[in-house]
Amino acid sequence: KHADEELPEADYNRYYKDEKPEFRIKTKREHYGHVMIKRARKYVESGNFPEIRLSGVILQIFAVISHYVSWDRLNAIREWKIPVLIVNGAHDNLVDPINSLMMAKALNGDHLHFKDGGHGINEQFDIVCNENLRQHFDRATENGDTRKLNRVSKPPELLHPWKFVLVYALSAFFFSKKGPLKKLSFNTAVILHTLVAGFALRKFFGRFTGL
């Protein structure tokens, strides 16, 4: 379903009851800007938001490219009949929107699609997202299965992508010390070979295909 078409225009000003009386939101763009600035201010004033570090960037890239859930695991989740809500934006330039559609089909879940949304739809359409999440949690609480969910029907794959990427990245790095790339700095070499390992992961394990 398309959230943009299904849900009526929200009255954003009712979410600012605690603001000054003269404070008035006129457009959705103004609302989004206010929310993002307010959040950024909280981060800065709390003092708990660290500066971006190279090690953190490497770990984040490694986590993204090594993320993999097999069809066996998706089927195991589906067997539990857990209520699932997939939310995505059509203009997401970080995660291919087709993956959300395929996951919704694989898990037999609800699919909330924003035709004008990007990667940050939880902020771009915060009111709509939060309302749909609330409704989803209410339905899951009323109709959900109360069995323990700490078991799976099949054991994990023997060759997990994390192991594959780690071995590949390490071997590629040490190989480069004797090859034409040996003049690269340590940080550059790690990033380069991590990216190479990610492409290799996609090649050997593949992307999601149609059901």
Q: How far is residue 62 CA from its own chain's centroid?
A: 14
Helix and strand element counts for the chain (H, E):
9, 2
What is the distance between the alpha carbons of residues 91 and 178, in angstroms, rounded to a whole number? 43
Per-residue pLDDT, 160: 57
CA atoms within 13 A on the CB side of 6: 11
pLDDT tens series, the chain, 211 aa: 544 444 444 555 555 555 555 556 667 777 778 778 887 888 777 777 777 788 788 888 877 777 777 888 888 888 888 889 999 999 998 888 898 889 999 999 999 998 888 888 888 888 788 888 999 998 888 765 555 544 444 444 444 556 666 666 666 666 666 666 666 666 676 677 667 766 666 665 554 333 3
- Judge whether 193 and 58 are in contact, CB under 8 Å: no
- Judge whether 115 and 90 are in contact, CB under 8 Å: yes
Nearest to 67 by CA among 159, 202, 196: 202
pLDDT tens digit sequence for 52-79: 788 788 888 877 777 777 888 888 888 8
What is the distance between the alpha carbons of residues 90 and 2, in angstroms, rounded to a whole number? 10
Q: How far from 164 is each of 24, 113, 121, 169, 190, CA to CA, in Å?
A: 54, 33, 32, 8, 15
Nearest to 161 by CA among 95, 89, 64, 75: 64
Percent of the chain as helix, strand, coil, to the nearest 5: 55, 5, 40
Nearest to 126 by CA among 49, 40, 24, 36: 36
What is the distance between the alpha carbons of residues 76 and 73, in angstroms, rounded to a whole number? 5
Nearest to 169 by CA among 187, 202, 193, 199: 193
Q: What φ, ψ does residue 110 adopt, rounded to 5°?
A: -75, 145
Per-residue pLDDT, 81: 83
User: Interior CA angle at 2 toward 211 and 112, to 5°?
Assistant: 60
- Judge whether 110 and 87 are in contact, CB under 8 Å: no
Token pair, residue 67, equals: 């993320």
